[in-house]
Amino acid sequence: MNFKVVEKFVSINGEGTLAGQLAVFIRFAGCNLNCSYCDTTWANEKDVCYELNTAEDIYNYIKSTGVRNVTLTGGEPLLQKGIIDLLKLLSKHKEIHVEIETNGSVLLDEFLAIENPHSFTMDYKLPSSNMESKMLLDNFKYLTKKDTVKFVSGSIEDLEKAKYIIDTYKLTERTNVYISPVFGQISLDSIVEFMKCNNMNGVNMQIQLHKIIWNPNKRGV
């Protein structure tokens, strides 16, 4: 099985529980959503340049870097045909830690039976994304403390919806929870003030480190 890969590179994790640590990034082509704030729309274009990699190609590249953290991203990696075969192959190599970034619209249940399971970082798309109707709320029940839910917020309305979802599904008791700003759309201090006013214990605010270190539009970082 061949996978459509648009980028492979080593950088630091820009966000999440492993923020600041080295990671190998494998970016796949294609997505089923069209978020208003997407910063990788180029990877979803029909005419995007990609290379066809087998699961073995991808593992061999990861191994060649000597880096143990691996992030599968996109696009939406779980839409790749045969992705479960890649995940099974990577799960055999316990020296690496695989994080799968997923957009919340793909049901996770079929990926849970893999031995040495990977961690998911799952978005919940808030109102400003224009994609909230695509969210599969059943996915919350599959998440554990090794996983993460990320709320990308561009407005106070977004923050209010994030709080409602966090409280309704008791997400801080189940998994790691992060709130990120839509870059350039909401002030960082307004997020902090909202968290303070609402006693959002157990919720982490984060910024994307790679957009601070490099130009926000730079690829391969």
In a domain, 219, yes or no: no
Total domain count for the chain?
1
Q: With 0-12 CB in 10 A as exposed, 13-18 as middle and 19+ as buried, what is 172?
A: middle
Cβ-based neighbour number of residue 102 at 10 Å: 20
Is 37 annotated in some ligand binding site?
Answer: yes
What pLDDT score was predicted for residue 130? 97
In a domain, 114, yes or no: yes
Q: Is residue 194 part of a domain?
A: yes
| Contact call for residues 10 and 22 (beta carbons, < 8 A) | yes
Residue 112 has pLDDT above 90, yes or no: no
Q: Is 219 annotated as a binding residue?
A: no
With a pLDDT cut of 70, the percent of the chain lying above it is: 98
Domain contains 24: yes
Domain assignment present for residue 126? The answer is: yes
pLDDT at 114: 87
pLDDT for 167 equals 98
Is 220 a domain residue? Answer: no
Please check if 41 is assigned to a binding site: no
Q: Is 174 annotated as a binding residue?
A: no
Q: What CATH number is given to the structural domain containing 27? A: 3.20.20.70
* CA angle (171, 177, 7) in 5-degree steps: 130
- 73 among annotated binding-site residues: yes
> Is a pLDDT exceeding 70 seen at residue 87?
yes
Q: How far apart are CA 102 and CA 33, in angstroms?
A: 11
Q: Rounded CA gap, 115 and 123, in Å? A: 24
Q: How does pLDDT run across 192-205, given as a tens digit for each residue?
A: 999 999 999 999 99
Say how many residues make up the chain.
221
The reply to whether 138 sits in an annotated binding site is no
Strand partners, 54: 2
> Going along the chain, which residue ranges are E strands?
2-12, 22-28, 51-54, 69-73, 97-102, 119-123, 148-153, 176-181, 203-205
- The answer, yes or no, to whether residue 214 has pLDDT greater than 80, is no
Q: What is the pLDDT of residue 139?
A: 98
Residue 84 lies in a domain: yes
Average pLDDT over residues 141-159: 97
Is residue 49 a known part of a binding site?
no
Query: What pLDDT is stored for residue 219 in this prediction?
Result: 74
- Strand 51-54 versus strand 2-12 pairing type: antiparallel
- Is 82 among the annotated ligand-binding positions? no
What's the pLDDT score for residue 221? Answer: 66
Q: What is the mean pLDDT of the chain?
A: 94
Range of the domain at 111: 2-213
**38 labelled as ligand-binding?**
yes
- Assess if residue 128 is contained within a domain: yes
Average pLDDT on 85-114 reads 94
- pTM of the predicted protein model: 0.94
